Amino acid sequence: MKTAALHNLGCKTNAYETESMAEMLKADGYTIVPFSQKADVYVINTCSVTAVADQKSRQMISRARRKNPNAIVIAAGCYVQTGKEKLLADKVADIIIGNNKKNDLIRQIHLFMENNSMIADVDDVNEGQMEFEDLTMHMSDDHSRAFLKIQDGCNQFCSYCIIPYARGRVRCRSKQSILDEVKRLAAEGYQEVVLTGIHITSYETEDGNLIDLVEDMAKIRGITRIRLGSLEPSAVTEEFAKRLSKVTELCPHFHMSLQSGSDTVLMRMNRHYTAEEFYESCQLLKEYFHDPALTTDIICGFPGESEKEFEETLSFVERIGFYEIHVFPYSIRQGTRAERMPDQITKKEKQKRCEILRHKAEGLKQQYLERHSGEKREILLEDQQMVDGQLCWMGYTREYIRCYVPVSELENRYSGDAVCGLLGEENEDGIYRLVISW
Alpha helices in 97-136 (DSSP H): 105-115
Q: Dihedral of CA 311/314/315/320: which sign? A: positive
| pLDDT band (50, 70, 90) for residue 424 | very low
Indicate if the pLDDT at residue 161 is higher than 70.
Answer: yes
pLDDT (0 to 100) of residue 387: 78
Per-residue pLDDT, averaged over 365-378, amounts to 84
pLDDT (0 to 100) of residue 433: 46
| pLDDT band (50, 70, 90) for residue 409 | low
> What pLDDT, in 10s, does the model give residues 310-350?
999 999 999 999 999 999 999 998 889 999 999 999 999 99
- Taking a C-beta distance cutoff of 8 angstroms, is the pair 77, 45 a contact? yes
- Torsion angle of C-alpha atoms 215, 219, 222, 228, degrees rounded to 10: 0
> What pLDDT, in 10s, does the model give residues 12-33?
888 888 988 999 999 999 999 9
Per-residue pLDDT, averaged over 406-411, amounts to 66
Provide the residue type at 44 as one letter: I
Measured CA distances, 38 to 32, 34, 43, 72, 115 (Å): 11, 9, 13, 11, 23
Q: What angle do CA 275, 249, 368 make, to 5 degrees?
A: 45
Give which of 402, 407, 400 is closest to 386, Cα–Cα. Answer: 407
Indicate if the pLDDT at residue 134 is higher than 80.
Answer: no
Q: What is the mean pLDDT of the chain?
A: 87
User: What percentage of the chain exceeds 70 in pLDDT?
Assistant: 88
pLDDT (0 to 100) of residue 58: 93
| pLDDT band (50, 70, 90) for residue 138 | very low
Provide the residue type at 163 as one letter: I
DSSP letter at 230 equals B
Helices (H) and strands (E) counted in the chain, each on its own, are 13, 21
Per-residue pLDDT, averaged over 126-148, amounts to 59
* CATH class of the domain at 2-121: alpha beta
Give which of 204, 202, 195 is closest to 225, Cα–Cα. Answer: 195
Measured distance CA(115)–CA(221) in Å, rounded: 48
Question: Which CATH code, of 3.40.50.11540, 3.80.30.20, 3.30.300.20, 3.10.100.10, is assigned to 145-371?
Answer: 3.80.30.20
Secondary element (H or E) of residue 286? helix 275-288
User: What percentage of the chain exceeds 90 in pLDDT?
Assistant: 61
Secondary element (H or E) of residue 31? strand 30-32
> What pLDDT, in 10s, does the model give residues 98-126?
888 888 899 999 999 998 888 876 766 55
Q: Reduce the DSSP state of residue 94 to 3 states and report it.
A: coil
User: Phi-psi bin for 114: left (phi > 0), alpha (psi -120 to 50), beta?
Assistant: alpha
Per-residue pLDDT, averaged over 396-405, amounts to 86
Secondary element (H or E) of residue 382? strand 376-387
Measured distance CA(33)–CA(4) in Å, rounded: 6
Measured distance CA(106)–CA(50) in Å, rounded: 29
> What pLDDT, in 10s, does the model give residues 239-297?
999 999 999 999 999 999 999 999 999 999 999 999 999 999 999 999 999 999 999 99
Measured CA distances, 105 to 6, 49, 112, 299 (Å): 12, 23, 11, 35
- Taking a C-beta distance cutoff of 8 angstroms, is the pair 302, 257 a contact? no
Alpha helices in 45-187 (DSSP H): 51-67, 78-82, 84-90, 105-115, 163-167, 175-187
Measured distance CA(163)–CA(36) in Å, rounded: 29
Q: Supply the DSSP string of 241-273, one letter for each residue.
A: HHHHHT-TTB-SEEE---B-S-HHHHHHHT-SS
CB under 8 A, 24+ apart: contacts of 129-133: 129/168, 129/169, 129/171, 130/99, 130/100, 130/168, 130/169, 130/171, 131/100, 131/171, 132/171, 132/172, 132/173, 133/99, 133/100, 133/101, 133/102, 133/103
145-149 β-sheet, strand order: 145-149, 192-196, 225-228
For the chain, give every domain's residue range: 2-121, 145-371, 376-437
pLDDT (0 to 100) of residue 69: 94
- In this predicted structure, which of 13-22, 31-40, 55-64, 291-300 has the lowest mean pLDDT? 13-22
